[in-house]
Amino acid sequence: MVGSGPNGLAAAIVLAEAGLQVGVFEAEAMPGGGVRSMQLTVPGFLHDFGSAVYPLGAGSPFFSRLRLREHGLEWVHSPAPLAHPLDDGSAVTLERELRDNETSLGEDGRIWSNLLRPFVEHWKEFAPEVLGPQPSIPRHPLLMARFGMTAFLSARTVARRFRNERTRALFAGLAAHSFLSLDEPLSGAFAMLMAIPAHAVGWPIVQGGSQSLTKALCSYLATLGGAVRTSSRVGSLDELPEHDLVLCDVTPRQLIRIGGARLSATYKRRLASFQYGPGVFKLDYALSAPIPWKARECLRAATVHVGGSFDEIAASEKAVRNGQHSDRPFVLLVQPALFDPSRAPSGKHTVWAYCHVPNGSRVNMLEKVEAQIERFAPGFRDCVLARSVLDPADLESMDANLVGGDISGGIIDIRHFLFRPSWRHYATSAKNVYLCSASTPPGGGVHGMCGYHAARMALKRL
Ligand SMILES: Cc1cc2nc3c(=O)[nH]c(=O)nc-3n(C[C@H](O)[C@H](O)[C@H](O)COP(=O)(O)OP(=O)(O)OC[C@H]3O[C@@H](n4cnc5c(N)ncnc54)[C@H](O)[C@@H]3O)c2cc1C
């Protein structure tokens, strides 16, 4: 294995479970890629470098069968998965139970439930279908046909079903996870793919920081005889010890570099045409107190979407998609120490936040992000003890897969959804070389399903 992100570790586990001897080479000093925790600000405060909230981790068909709890993994759920503050000083919340959500969304509650209920109630059947390579022959054709009816619509089109501006704002925040413009096809599906697990399995954080998820995966891998060798960057596949198979938890651009002559010129051209998505501008804070939200409901949720109305969020995402920086960026914010005291000294707090920026941007968005938080939580800046600022180049220097700050391993528009990164999906032009990162189906997010499917294909062919 090259790379020990969640997909690399998932693939390593599948191979080791099948009885293969597995070695994982990891460039960085810590395993985990986008699933690591670090002291990014001041001593005593623990921050998630990459991912922080795990709807697809908790709902992953692969992770769910690994008994990671026995290896120290504990999901922590906030009372509400998500809060979305609005300018009138109130907040709309996404509640875990559809029933409670119906109360919270008022006249839109029933419409929301009708849209999502079939997939929430059948998450166990639905998750393996949507978290696999597409197109595929569905095992649950009726369920998938129902999803397909809305999946290709834009978020704006789907949101027209709601009567209330508050519900539309909530839906926009969910859709904005896609990095697509909210007028593009598939952006509606993303909103649904965020909301469905919120009701089915929750949006948990990890007790003790995200690193605990990586530790649990490494610990289980060790019981199967697999080992991770850190600080071991692979510059070329020819450097690797003798092997039957090599699976690469890297993105296409890196595969071209390390694959060298093993890959055909046609395949390399195909990889070279793979497109990366926008980047992120990431901030971490050590705070003296919880965020002073105007809307107290925001303290019930680990994740808060800061961006106001549907139209504002749509404008922010459209600007980024067009290579511009939004003056009022949509900010994804997580306040883990409210629910996991191990993240900060007693009474103190940590905050994780990012906004989307064009790929490779060097623009400092600090002022604009903080202005957005202050808009809904006046006095926020007075609570800041220390902050860490990571722009796309900083992120890429800490995890080579974050090309230009793209956290999803490549854009997910229709082309990159169906051919990710080529029609071969996990296979490459070399017989024993496979790709298993988020640049393969089903794409970004911490679920391990890219690694799982890649390893299964590799084993079958071996
Ligand atoms: C700031 C940020 C916020 C995010 N928030 C969330 C979130 O809240 N929830 C969520 O589900 N997802 C989130 N994500 C996305 C998620 O982290 C990624 O989609 C996921 O980590 C992808 O896993 P991966 O295994 O494909 O790649 P990665 O996790 O990026 O791992 C790749 C690994 O390969 C190593 N590597 C690369 N090249 C080489 C080489 N040549 N030799 C050896 N090793 C190499 C890297 O060092 C790295 O450890 C976030 C990501 C970031 C950066």
Q: Residue 101 contacts by C-beta under 8 Å, 6 or more apart in sequence?
A: 94, 95, 109, 112, 113, 199
- Write the residue with the smallest CA distance to atom 52 of ligand 1: 50
What pLDDT does 418 receive?
86
37-38/246-248 β-pairing: unpaired
Report the first-to-last Cα separation within the chain, whole angstroms.
15
Q: What is the CA radius of gyration of the chain?
A: 21
Q: Is any ligand 1 atom within 6 A of the Cβ of residue 400? A: yes
pLDDT tens digits for range 168-195: 999 999 999 999 999 999 999 999 999 9
Distance (angstroms) between ligand 1 centre and the Cα of 24 equals 15
Q: Is any ligand 1 atom within 6 A of the Cβ of residue 8? A: yes
What pLDDT does 414 receive?
83
Distance (angstroms) between ligand 1 centre and the Cα of 132 equals 18
Q: Residue 265 contacts by C-beta under 8 Å, 6 or more apart in sequence?
A: none
Q: Is residue 433 a contact partner of residue 231, using CB atoms and an 8 Å limit?
A: no
Distance (angstroms) between ligand 1 centre and the Cα of 58 equals 17
C-alpha distances out from residue 383 to 333, 340, 345, 450, Å: 16, 19, 14, 40
Q: Is any ligand 1 atom within 6 A of the Cβ of residue 445? A: yes
- Which residue is it, tokens 């610990």? 219
Q: Is any ligand 1 atom within 6 A of the Cβ of residue 444? A: yes
Distance (angstroms) between ligand 1 centre and the Cα of 441 equals 15
390 CA: nearest ligand 1 atom: 1
Distance (angstroms) between ligand 1 centre and the Cα of 48 equals 12
433-435/246-248 β-pairing: parallel
Pocket test for ligand 1, best of 78, 399, 447 (most atoms within 8 A of CB): 399
- Write the residue with the smallest CA distance to atom 49 of ligand 1: 33
In degrees rounded to 5, what are phi and psi of residue 390?
A: -125, 115
pTM of the predicted model over 0.75: yes
Q: How far apart are CA 67 and CA 330, in angstroms?
A: 36
Q: How far apart are CA 92 and CA 86, in angstroms?
A: 8
What pLDDT does 133 receive?
83
232 Cα distance to chain centroid: 25
Residue from 409, 415, 418, 62 nearest 250 by CA: 409
pLDDT tens digits for range 310-330: 999 999 999 999 999 999 999
Q: Is any ligand 1 atom within 6 A of the Cβ of residue 441? A: no
pLDDT by residue for the chain (462 residues), tens digit each?
999 999 999 999 999 999 999 999 999 999 999 999 999 999 999 999 999 999 999 999 999 999 999 999 999 999 999 999 999 999 999 999 999 999 999 999 999 999 999 999 999 999 999 998 877 788 888 999 899 888 889 999 999 999 999 999 999 999 999 999 999 999 999 999 999 999 999 999 999 999 999 999 999 999 999 999 999 999 999 999 999 999 999 999 999 999 989 999 999 999 999 999 999 999 999 999 999 999 999 999 999 999 999 999 999 999 999 999 999 999 999 999 999 999 999 999 999 999 999 999 999 999 999 999 999 999 999 999 999 999 999 999 999 999 999 999 999 888 888 889 998 999 999 999 999 999 999 999 999 999 999 999 999 999
Residue from 217, 319, 249, 334 nearest 284 by CA: 334
53 CA: nearest ligand 1 atom: 8
Q: Is any ligand 1 atom within 6 A of the Cβ of residue 35? A: yes
Q: Is any ligand 1 atom within 6 A of the Cβ of residue 252? A: no
